[in-house]
Structure 1
Amino acid sequence: MTLPGRDTIVTYPAGELTTSARVVAVAPHDGGLAVVADRTSIHPVAAAWPDQPADAGVLRTGDGEYAIRDAVVAATDGETLHIGTLPVRPGTDGWAFVVAHLVDADAAVGEGDEVEFEADAATRRALSIGHTACHAASLALNRALAGRWSKSARQDALGAPDFDGIAIATSRIEPMGSVDRYRLNKSLRRAGFDASGLADSLGELAASVDATLEGWVAADAAVRIERDGDGLGDRRTWVCDLPDAPARIPCGGTHAASLGELGRVRVSFEMEDDAGTPVLRMTTRANPPS
């Protein structure tokens, strides 16, 4: 097996579903095969922040078509292919960061083969809408909670205290939505956030976030992905031209082309307990127009 010496070129940030590629490595993995190519249109699960699931899709060769049962970020130093859990950060000198497409063991694919990748359009659209709704909701949540800060805090892309960035514990992108969990711990309170009475005003909080989202969706704010390069490890940024100012958030996921594509967006909140620490759970749901 010859391991790649450069990052996989990724075409999904530009919205592409299909791309032709050359296989550069095939390795056994978890009862199947991990296929690495020089380029791909398949969005993989990231190792550092695995919020967005992988695209559903297929790999086509001259001998057949094979379902991609998962796609994950992998790293190689030229000797070993590390799949899923990476020993170094993307961009580390001497390492290549690649997409490992996981297929069944009987797939007839080998090093040097010319192949085609195709992501499922419906799955991509649903996850892209969910990811864009997640970013918009996080900004609207920061705005709604801005009055609860008594100290200066790190600001978000719109200049509000970045509750989302400071308190986030987990984020999960789902078709047409997302689920985000925020820890209201002692360090957050020491940073100046006042959580008193929050549990009793979740309906008001949701109404405030919903109102902000309704205005942004009505403005049909344009969304684009800016890239430092075409490689998997290159920095990518979600940019949304909101009515007041453009918002910029580092992100490696896929997205809708505008907030108008989200349709009616609503959030709901619940309070949870994590070993004595209160956790605010925000569920975001988009209902795109037919």
Structure 2
Amino acid sequence: MSDVTPTHVLFTVPEWRTEAEIQLCEPATSRGVYVVTDRTCFHPVSHIWPDHPADRGTIGLGDRCFDVTGCFTGAVDLATSTLYVGTDIPVKRDVPGWAFVVVHHIAEDAQWRKGDTVILSVDRAYQQALSRGHSAGHLSSLALNKVLHSDYWRKDASRKDELGHYDFHSYAQQQSIVSEDKSTDTYRLGKTLRKRGFNTADMLANLVALTDLINQQLEIWRHSGAAVVMRREGVQLTDSRYWQCDLGEEEVIEIPCGGSHIQSLSEYSALFVQFEHVSDQELIMVTHTKP
């Protein structure tokens, strides 16, 4: 029976450097080793919704320091001590007998043992750039829904967002990618969306004006300098986390999210969207930020 425990994650605090104890160090499926520690400041890429890239950084032991070349979600079968990484994970979270962990990949064959103490250091600038991009994606989706709410729906759509607006973003989103100071959302404008009562043709015809309205809303929110809080239901990797922000829209909004985020809208010097009209079936919204 393995005594591996679920990873205590620190990227929501945020904390960029920490001392940790090795729980597992074993050969990776490719070159190098997988390292699992009891705690980490690294944000891993999700095996279910991989929109937010893994953090970069280093792991050091004694006088040796190694680059972390990948950081993944993993799960350990406690009965057999077997580590599964990424899409190989065969169970959902919170299944008894399993521990979900953060897996750090090192491309070299480090000969480390269970119980060794290491220093984990995250590339702070890179993580903060991803955090700005991820929070910006939440803000632009809310602004998009708000601008579309009154004039582009023929029916009362059942799904509403956290501000009470018809949730175009949720209905139409096909893909989301977070990158440094950027969030890219791809929307599918198919028959299903139109059957729900959305006027796709009107939206595409008015895209320039809609872009201006969205950016005006984002500028109002940016100027508020509102705090962003990550509410955590626990410190383990699989514990639920929520992005909270008071946008001055009657109540604090809360969005379930496992990514890393900014701490205040004052961290933005610029926040705006641009659209790419790929086809009548596909629309891409790119949210840009500047620190």
Q: TM-score, normalised by structure 2?
A: 0.93
Count the aligned residue pairs: 284
Shift of 1:208: 1.1
State the alpha-carbon separation in 1 of the partners of residues 149 and 5 from structure 2: 43
Structure 2 CA distance for partners of 1:59 and 1:152, relative to 1, 3 Å: same
3-state SS of paired residue (1:282): strand
Shift of 1:4: 5.0
Shift of 1:267: 0.4
Tell me what 1:27 maps to.
Answer: 26
State the alpha-carbon separation in 2 of the partners of residues 153 and 192 from structure 1: 11
Tell me what 1:233 maps to.
Answer: 238
Q: Which residue of 239, 259, 281 maps to 1:278? A: 281
Tell me what 2:122 maps to.
Answer: 119
3-state SS of paired residue (1:96): strand
**CA RMSD in angstroms, aligned pairs only:** 1.5
Deviation sequence 1:49-72 (CA, Å, 0-9, x none): 111111111001124110001101
Matched ranges for 1:92-107 at <5 A: 92-107=95-110
Tell me what 2:39 maps to.
Answer: 39
Shift of 1:9: 0.4
1:183 aligns with 2:183: no
Q: Which residue of 250, 256, 262 maps to 1:256? A: 262
Shift of 1:142: 0.8
Shift of 1:146: 1.0
Identity of aligned pairs, percent? 39
Amino acid of the structure 1 residue aligned with 2:231: E
Shift of 1:108: 3.9
Shift of 1:35: 0.3
**Larger mean Cα displacement after TM superposition, 245-254 or 101-110:** 101-110
Q: Is the 8 A contact 1:91 1:234 kept in 2?
A: no
Q: Is the 8 A contact 1:173 1:179 kept in 2?
A: yes
Q: Is the 8 A contact 1:141 1:209 kept in 2?
A: yes
Q: Is the 8 A contact 1:236 1:251 kept in 2?
A: yes
State the alpha-carbon separation in 1 of the partners of residues 231 and 20 from structure 2: 23
Amino acid of the structure 2 residue aligned with 1:198: M
Amino acid of the structure 2 residue aligned with 1:269: F
Q: Is the 8 A contact 1:202 1:270 kept in 2?
A: no
Amino acid of the structure 2 residue aligned with 1:112: G
1:17 aligns with 2:42: no
Deviation sequence 1:18-54 (CA, Å, 0-9, x none): 1111000012112121100111001110111111111
Q: Which residue of 76, 83, 96 maps to 1:81? A: 83
State the alpha-carbon separation in 1 of the partners of residues 77 and 166 from structure 2: 40
State the alpha-carbon separation in 1 of the partners of residues 2 and 208 from structure 2: 53
Amino acid of the structure 2 residue aligned with 1:205: L
Amino acid of the structure 2 residue aligned with 1:77: D
State the alpha-carbon separation in 2 of the partners of residues 191 and 110 from structure 1: 57
State the alpha-carbon separation in 2 of the partners of residues 272 and 3 from structure 1: 51
Shift of 1:125: 1.2
Tell me what 1:6 maps to.
Answer: 5
Matched ranges for 1:156-175 at <5 A: 156-175=161-180
Matched ranges for 1:47-66 at <5 A: 47-66=47-66
Amino acid of the structure 2 residue aligned with 1:202: L
Amino acid of the structure 2 residue aligned with 1:6: T
Deviation sequence 1:92-129 (CA, Å, 0-9, x none): 22221100000023334222210111101110111111
Unaligned runs of 5+ in 2: none
